[in-house]
A = this chain, B = another copy of it.
Amino acid sequence: METREKFDWERGCVIPFDLFTGKADGIPMIQRRLSDLAGMFSDEAAYEKALEAGDPVVYEYHAIEIPPTDGDLSFGYSVLYPGKVGKEYWFTKGHYHEKLYTAEVYHCLKGHGMLLLEDRRGDWKTLEMKAGDIGYVPKGYAHRSVNISDSEPFVTVFAYRADAGHDYGTIKTKGFRKILLEESGQPMIADNPKGMS
């Protein structure tokens, strides 16, 4: 049987991921450490203090090279570990698609998280996700994952049009309008005190 050939996007292939961790032999994940998120957390003092204690991996994800055409699909796992900087839950950097009007789907395999969405007109929304849930990131919205569990990784599988592209710059410069803080053990949405709008 012709099975388990890797990376044949022209004739089809299977990538054998571990269902709950996304690990697969020979398929590296990109790691983002706390130091990679400089300037993005609301509590700068807590961030500096956390970095002094170490530079943990905050999240990791697949960035598999798939032909960037409008008929192909990119996909992979995202694993966001539990943690906080001050009261703010760990998150992914977040991004718009360069091709702004392309959607993305996230399927949660494990954990408890939020997708934080916002668009360029000022709209925003959170999507709470647990295992089994599929979250729909609509066209035109930047999206960030936030892990609101205190113990489990937030594990998702994502898919989007392979030519969508990533625009990290807008978010890195302006931040998201809203942030997610833990207050009395519960996630609370707050305005970003850095005042970017």
> What are 22 A-B interface contacts by the 8 Å CB criterion?
A1-B128, A9-B136, A10-B138, A12-B137, A13-B136, A14-B129, A14-B133, A16-B130, A16-B132, A17-B134, A19-B131, A19-B132, A20-B132, A69-B139, A70-B161, A71-B99, A71-B101, A71-B102, A75-B134, A103-B162, A107-B107, A159-B159
Residues of B within 8 A of A69 (CB): 139
A15 and B134 form a contact (CB under 8 A):
yes
A120 in contact (CB, < 8 A): no
Contact of A4 among B115, B123, B128, B141 (CB under 8 A): B128
A49 in contact (CB, < 8 A): no
A127 and B15 form a contact (CB under 8 A):
no
Beyond A12-B137, A13-B127, A73-B103, list 17 extra A-B contacts (CB 8 Å): A4-B128, A8-B138, A9-B103, A11-B125, A11-B141, A12-B141, A13-B135, A14-B135, A17-B132, A17-B134, A20-B132, A71-B102, A73-B104, A73-B159, A73-B160, A75-B105, A107-B157
